[in-house]
Amino acid sequence: MSGPSSADRASPSCCAPSRVGAVGAGPVALAPMSPAARTRSPGHDTRVALPGGTFRMGTEDADANPGDREGPVREVAVDAFAIDAHAVTTARFAAFVADTGHRTEAERHGWSFVFACFLPGDLRRVSPRPDATPWWCGVQGATWRTPEGPDSDLEGRWDHPVTHVGWSDAKAFAGWAGGRLPTETEWEYAARGGLDQARYP
């Protein structure tokens, strides 16, 4: 869990319907999805309406990362919103790509980072790694379609969460699906599952 950041801005998405009125103007109306958005967005019926309220956001655990501004713990208010109960699957993202022709950041750049433990030993050894996060390997050809690089595919993973998707890709998907991305505060409120300062919901 983390504290306020530039990612905490309200932005249009897959996970919550668009706000009615200005941010902070009061309770959020849970906008119904249009028939067109329902057709485009299989799995839309898994959205969960959350009432909003106040909660203690952030952490001061010993393993918290100060650089990520995960603390201090502070009481935060959040308006009502709805959020998908599950991550966006590769099948759902594929429907978006087929409908729009969208190319992800990883596809445009030609590479993405992959967890080292997901790679065969030879690829793990030759792939560049950032000094600060050596568990990530930069892999040419790693995209949402080829999660571990050119020799991988989505067979058996259509119901897995989509990977190698950047913020602009997620934002584009969200608009297509008839929603918007949740703010960091909304995400943490939902992820805590109603539990106060529990490490795992």
The confidence score (pLDDT) of residue 29 equals 33
User: How far is it, in rounded angstroms, from Cα 168 to Cα 37?
Assistant: 19
The confidence score (pLDDT) of residue 77 equals 96
Delimit the domains of the chain by residue range. 6-87+167-191, 105-164
In a 10 Å sphere around its CB, with 0-12 CB exposed, 13-18 middle and 19+ buried, how is residue 84 labelled? Answer: buried
Mean pLDDT, residues 189-196 taken together: 92
In the structure, what pLDDT confidence band is assigned to residue 69 with cuts at 50, 70 and 90?
A: confident
In the structure, what pLDDT confidence band is assigned to residue 23 with cuts at 50, 70 and 90?
A: very low
Mean pLDDT, residues 23-49 taken together: 48
Higher pLDDT, 165 or 69: 165
Q: By C-alpha distance, which of 151, 192, 155, 169 is closest to 56?
A: 192
The confidence score (pLDDT) of residue 120 equals 83
Mean pLDDT, residues 1-25 taken together: 35
Cis peptide before 27 (omega within 30 of 0): no
**Is-contact 96 171, C-beta < 8 A?**
no
Pick from 21-25, 35-39, 61-65 the range whose average pLDDT is largest. Answer: 61-65
Higher pLDDT, 136 or 4: 136
The confidence score (pLDDT) of residue 50 equals 94
If DSSP codes are grouped into helix, strand and coil, which group holds residue 23? Answer: coil
Mean pLDDT, residues 1-10 taken together: 38
**pLDDT, the chain, mean:** 80
Q: By C-alpha distance, which of 10, 81, 90 is closest to 43?
A: 90
Of the listed ranges 11-25, 133-147, 153-167, the least confidently predicted one is 11-25
Mean pLDDT, residues 141-161 taken together: 94
Amino acid at 158: W
**Is-contact 120 88, C-beta < 8 A?**
no
The tens digit of pLDDT for each residue in 79-127 reads 999 999 889 999 999 999 999 999 999 999 999 999 999 988 888 888 8
The confidence score (pLDDT) of residue 45 equals 60
In the structure, what pLDDT confidence band is assigned to residue 187 with cuts at 50, 70 and 90?
A: very high
Higher pLDDT, 6 or 159: 159
